[in-house]
Chain A
Amino acid sequence: MTTELIQAPRGAGAPAAGAPAERRRVVGLACRNCGRPEPLGPAYVCPACLGPLEVAYDRDLVRATASREAIEARPAGLWRYLEFLPLDTPPARGLAVGSSPLVAADRRGRALGVERLWVKDDTRNPSLSFKDRAVAIAAATASEFGIDTLACASTGNLAGATAAAAAALGIPAYVFIPADLEPAKVDHALAYGATVVPIEGTYDDVNRLCLEVVDETGWGFVNVNLRPFYAEGSKTLAFEVAEGLGWRSPDVIVAPIASGALFTKVARGFAELADAGLIERRPIRFVGAQPAGCAPVATAWASGATVVEPVRAPDTFVRSLAIGNPADGRYALEVARSSGGSIESIDDTRTAAAIRELAALEGIFAETAGGVTIGAVEAARRRGVIRDGDEVVALVTGNGLKTPDARLLGIDPAAPARAGQPGLAPPIPPRLAAFEAWLEGASS
């Protein structure tokens, strides 16, 4: 992980030529549901209708100032897309987030019957997941608001991202998690010096508690009272994909759905690039991926429902997607339906196989959510949502080292592998003869 002084993009934050000096790209917040404007601040809910608040931009100014050339001239990282983000200037200090590789996954694609498959490998962010993007924006905004403590309700990846960002800023972090979370994710957050608060319940129980805690503490909960800013970070995945493809969009995006915020904001990111004239506006089908043991949005999509019914007791090893009551579920449904996409439900056995196959064929070790996403590529291809000749980008959003339990990946440590087979060999004495005996046993 790297903490660095961030180099300010050239020309970023400056007003457009001819624009009034006081004109700002970020004009405030606005309710996504009723459109009511609200002043900029740590707020997430509309006082009139309780709908979600979002960042409101001066779109004319964004259009006037954003250009491919300016972006390409800037350093790597998510701040190169500053015109589309809710800060006037990059923060002085933070982690080196973004600019992850867009990998041509030809071998995996061929096996799935997808001729042009790209994997956006977001396993490589500072805390090993895409959450660093969202937290980078939330943490920078928190600093502007004078908030001195970061916090979050996490299914695991956000815990590490919040803890890492707080460490980089030198402020305390409180991360609230389900008490039975994977140990690797807990250890990860602890290593950054966070206070980890295990809650006896599901993620939805954790989230409910945090909604009450935020009222009492004044802390900056990245995915509660900083949520309008936090959610903007996910747009940078779309920006990087478009730039990586040579300033164009693919035919299909496949992304995991937990709360649905990532899914909807990636769609928003492509739309904003088109609005600003940086890419041609063309249809993109959005395919969502949920684990079968916690698939409220996929269930609604399959039944044609407009209301997402919550799942009370998620039953999946894909803990990072185990949100039974997804806040943006209805919006994710709209994105999938209006784009001609789908929302696929993938069982854990298939997910485990997809993790192994992606690792073996492309050298990318994905967290369980990545397995669900690759499983959804296959399901959407079978369904016909992904068509012959389509260019498909799958967003692999977390690193497999966070969920490393080999038993969950279908590898049985009690059945030692023979030479030439994938798997775990038995312990061998440190003698060449012993190794050769094992090797010969494989061929006998």
Chain B
Amino acid sequence: MSEVRIPPVLRSATSGAKLVDAGGSTVREVIESLVGTYPALAPTLLDGDGGINHFVNVFLNGTDVRHLDGLETPVGERDSLVLLPAMAGGS
């Protein structure tokens, strides 16, 4: 199981949990597992085409998965995923 950090804006869908465990060997599988456990995440976390809402950035051990293999990036048992809103920072 990988550890997934949930941002505050989504915690109402995880009963307030900040850190949750989810199974899967790729980022896509972990997200699917997460949504399976917490269905209320689906409308916010997923887009209509089987992808991730473009207002969410997914980080695997601190690296944006878009710099890796995106949703097909392999995930290990000890890996940590962080979900964060995309709209922050900058000038």
Contacts and interface: CB of A to CB of B under 8 A. Distances in A.
A153 B57 CA distance: 17
Contact of A259 (B8, B57, B67, B89): B89
A325 B58 CA distance: 13
Nearest to A153: B89
Contacts of B89: 153, 203-204, 207, 210-211, 223-224, 227, 259, 323, 327
Contacts of A210: 88-89
Interface stretch (A5-13, A41-49, A70-78): A41-49
B12 interface: yes
B91 A131 contact: yes
Contacts of B56: 50
B88 to A, nearest CB: 5
A203 B64 CA distance: 13
A223 B90 contact: yes
B87 A50 contact: yes
Contacts of B8: 215
Contacts of A131: 91
B66 A44 contact: no
B42 interface: no
Nearest to A331: B87
Contact of B91 (A44, A52, A258): A258
A227 B62 contact: no
Interface residues of B, number: 26
The binding surface of chain B is classed by DSSP as mixed
Interface string B11-28: 010000000000000000
Interface string A200-234: 00011101101110010000000110010000000
Given A52-B87, A224-B88, A310 B9 contact: no
Interface in B44-71: 44, 53-57, 59, 62, 64, 66-67
Contact of A227 (B55, B67, B82, B87): B87
Contacts of B7: 211, 215
Contacts of A326: 90
A309 B85 contact: no
B91 A208 contact: no
B9 A47 contact: yes
B73 to A, nearest CB: 14
B84 interface: yes
A45 B85 contact: yes
B85 to A, nearest CB: 4
Given A50-B56, A50-B85, A215-B7, A205 B62 contact: yes
A195 interface: no
B55 A211 contact: no
A319 to B, nearest CB: 12
18 contacts: A45-B85, A47-B9, A50-B44, A51-B55, A51-B87, A52-B55, A155-B91, A157-B91, A158-B91, A204-B89, A207-B90, A208-B59, A208-B82, A211-B85, A223-B90, A259-B91, A309-B66, A326-B90
Interface of B: 5, 7-9, 12, 43-44, 53-57, 59, 62, 64, 66-67, 82, 84-91
Interface of A: 33, 44-45, 47-52, 131, 134, 153, 155, 157-158, 203-205, 207-208, 210-212, 215, 223-224, 227, 256, 258-262, 307, 309-310, 312, 320-321, 323, 325-328
